[in-house]
Amino acid sequence: MKLLENLNPQQREAVLHTEGPLLVLAGAGSGKTGVLTHRVAYLIQEKYVEPYNILAVTFTNKAACEMRERIAKLLGFDSPALWISTFHSASVRILRRHIDLFNFSQNFVIFDTSEQKTLIRECMKELNINEKQFPYQVFMRKISKGKNDLITAEEYGERYKSYSLDPSADVYYLYQKKLKQNNALDFDDLIFYVVRLFRKYPEVLHKYEGLFHYILIDEYQDINKAQYALVKSLADKRRNLFVVGDEDQSIYAFRGADMNIILNFERDFPEARIIKLQQNYRSTGNILDVANELVRNNRNRRDKDLWTHKSEGDRPICHEALDERDEAVFIIDKIKESVKKEKRKLSDFVILYRTNAQSRVFEEVLMSEGLPYQVVGGLKFYDRKEIKDILAYVRILWNPTDTMSFKRIINVPPRGIGDKTVEKLLEFSEETERNLYDILIDVNFLRNKKLPAKSVNALQVFKKLMEDLQKNIDEKSISELLEEVMDKSGYLQSLKDQNSVEAVSRIENLEELLKVAQEFIYNHPAADIDEFLALTSLSSDIDMMEESKESITLMTVHSAKGLEFPVVFITGMEEGLFPHQRSIDTKKDFDIEEERRLAYVALTRAMEKLYLSYAWRRSVYGFGSDYNRPSRFLDEVKDYISRTGEEKDMFASEVARPEIVTMEKKKTTFKSNFYRRGDFIKHKEFGKGVVMEVIGDMMKPQFLKVSFQSAGMKKIDISSIC
């Protein structure tokens, strides 16, 4: 069969097993997307399954689009009826049809993280909760966890009513109340309400059970309890559930992902078949040896080893840097060298780090070298002020009860509506239980409330603007509506009037928003405004990543999941950084194993070349812990990596710094003029320091490069040593 001819035996077996539950344990780079897409194509082409009877779920819009394109290529045609989406997008689609059962309007909006933050702070203010005592992030985490555990605000309050000093239940209750007033849902609500919908209204569940004959779930190791409940309810009747995952790549426990769900698949579906995909198509043999050796140290996993038909390739290299700047310079130099000698493109390279803060020094060095780069995981496109402002206009036009958006743009650009006027409107809204838009259009009400004439006139100008934008809205495409909002609101002109570099950048971002809208129209010709708004709310920074852009990519390891690059640099491989100190402090095997899985994900992004680096000193931690030991993960794979420099073994006690934690840890008696790296010295002016480099003849060195506790890196004459 032509459809299956490019698949290996295990992949083919997974595609052909159409009936009953199937777990495909797909190692990194083993072609899981190909298996998913071929299986969908096989169901349609060979089993004559109607496209609308198939639900395929993945975790990013980008992955969903790629899957749809690949299926269309395999079949020779596109099928819009095929349900391929993220969990959240599928949930939005279901809720648009049934949310009225929970007393929401079908034109509900989706609040993103920043809007959640604002709303929670409003709740805290209303409840007189001191943010210094209770940071808003605490409530965001607790509410999110409550929803992912399928606990309503009322149930949460009942469960934790004895915790009198913890106001979380009150915040959760008020937060949900305010969401409803705004006809809004947050991200967690989307799945939360669908699960509740299926449990409370069996007839609705029956409808979708009947609709989805075959269900396919990608990245099954990353699902949380709410997503699991959704999948389980849809699949329980027909049992045609196909899940793909790899517990070795489970790295999102902090977001509520529960790895036990994939580990317990056979318990949930005793009749399930298990197929392992272990042939890797991405990486060279030496890279896979490192990855396999590392992850073997985890106990909570199924046994599997990746292998490849590719060549062994270059042995992964580990570099010890003096400090974080030295680390950055080494990496950028390697990139420049590779571009020059191997004719590589800048887009072939990715620099991975454990925490966002590590990007700073790389950005500084890249800017000084004049090399283009993109940071994935910084400020998201849809989080930029100008984007949120324009979309807020559209959201009000779609959903006039959206108070958050109303407050955001009522005086943007400035039109003479001050904070006091807005406060008054909010008071009127509370008193009358009317939304702000309804109050705005009631001129007599405003005048009777004795608002200043100047304020009333300004509000009327805003009202007229919104009415003009509302005219014939159903006849406008989303890109036409966006252009009209930018123009008629005066927003675009106000940016042009600023005549600054920042304003130009903001205008460029608005132009990019128009391009996004035009692409959306092209790909979804029948879509409504609400579908575009859902896209903007649910889009991730990975979805906006510019793959074709000729630039070096910088990102966290978490952001790199699912991506691949010819050359990968994994930085900051130090105890306390990778693995992170939080995981070390808990003293729990699970937390260290999650960090090791994260390192495994980082390693398996590399196709051809892999570099690992660590810095002896890293200023981010401050003195006392900035002399760092190499990561335990390096020790676990030391037999499979080479290192830069003359030293043969970075972990041997006679080389480098076996016991160094603080300056007082090692006492050295200096004899003659013989010094080596790792020795402690005391300088007449700079005090205590560590020898980083010997310059000159080893027996009679003329100079030493020394990292001092108080003065940083210095080149000194040996005669100045006490």
Give the tens place of pLDDT for each residue, 520-561: 887 777 777 888 888 777 765 555 555 556 899 999 999 999
72, 85, 40, 37: which is closest to 543 by C-alpha? Answer: 85
> What's the half-sphere exposure (Cβ side, CA atoms, 13 Å) at 308?
24
pLDDT at 439 over 90: no
Give the pLDDT of residue 625.
41
> In the chain, what percentage of residues exceed pLDDT 70?
88
pLDDT at 646 over 50: no
Question: What CA–CA distance (Å, rounded) separates 478 from 533?
Answer: 10
Kindly state the DSSP code that residue 355 receives in the 8-state scheme.
Answer: S
Question: What CA–CA distance (Å, rounded) separates 660 from 654?
Answer: 12
Q: Which residues are catalytic?
A: 32-33, 218-219, 249, 605
Kindly state the DSSP code that residue 25 receives in the 8-state scheme.
Answer: E
89, 106, 109: which is closest to 230 by C-alpha? Answer: 89
Q: Give the range among 301-315, 427-441, 533-547, 597-611 with minimum mean pLDDT.
A: 533-547
Give the tens place of pLDDT for each residue, 221-262: 999 999 999 999 999 999 999 999 999 999 998 888 999 999
Give the pLDDT of residue 460.
85
Give the pLDDT of residue 659.
33
- What's the mean pLDDT when you consider all of the chain? 85
Q: Give the range among 104-118, 177-191, 428-442 with minimum mean pLDDT.
A: 428-442
Instruction: Dig out the tokens for 276 from the structure.
Output: 């392992």
The three-state (H, E, C) secondary structure of 243-291, written as one string: EEECHHHCCCHHHCCCCHHHHCHHHHCCCCEEEEECECCCCCHHHHHHH
Sign, CA torsion 705/707/713/718: negative
> What's the half-sphere exposure (Cβ side, CA atoms, 13 Å) at 669?
0
Quick one: which H or E segment has residue 712? strand 712-717
pTM: 0.74
